[in-house]
Amino acid sequence: SAVISQKPSRDICQRGTSLTIQCQVDSQVTMMFWYRQQPGQSLTLIATANQGSEATYESGFVIDKFPISRPNLTFSTLTVSNMSPEDSSIYLCSVGPDSHSYEQYFGPGTRLTVT
């Protein structure tokens, strides 16, 4: 299974500012995903990021608010822009499935608090 790291692990930010979350994988992967998990809730997919193409956003999420970069097969960033307290959540990076497996693997998450 892939080993995934995220930076930062947590942050407290002021409303109106932006935060960029980094996701690093120890192997090359085709598909990377960004999820939001609000307190006590399940996971909601924000977008799918494939290298070399624009990210695909799910309903309710827009590029201006959550710009994503995928410069290579081991790295991606998610920016949470113009933050409000409603953006306080855990943001999770995930990889897979690919031709070798069907499951997804998750990073440790970034806990964001917006004041």
Q: CA 21: distance to chain centroid?
A: 7
Q: Which of helix, strand or coil describes residue 12?
A: strand
According to the binding rule CB under 8 A, does residue 48 interact with another protein? yes
Q: Which is nearer to another protein, 16 or 97 (CB)?
A: 97
Q: Which is nearer to another protein, 54 or 82 (CB)?
A: 54
According to the binding rule CB under 8 A, does residue 86 interact with another protein? no
N-to-C CA span, the chain: 36
Count of residues interacting with another protein (CB under 8 A): 20
State the DSSP code for 43: -
According to the binding rule CB under 8 A, does residue 103 interact with another protein? yes
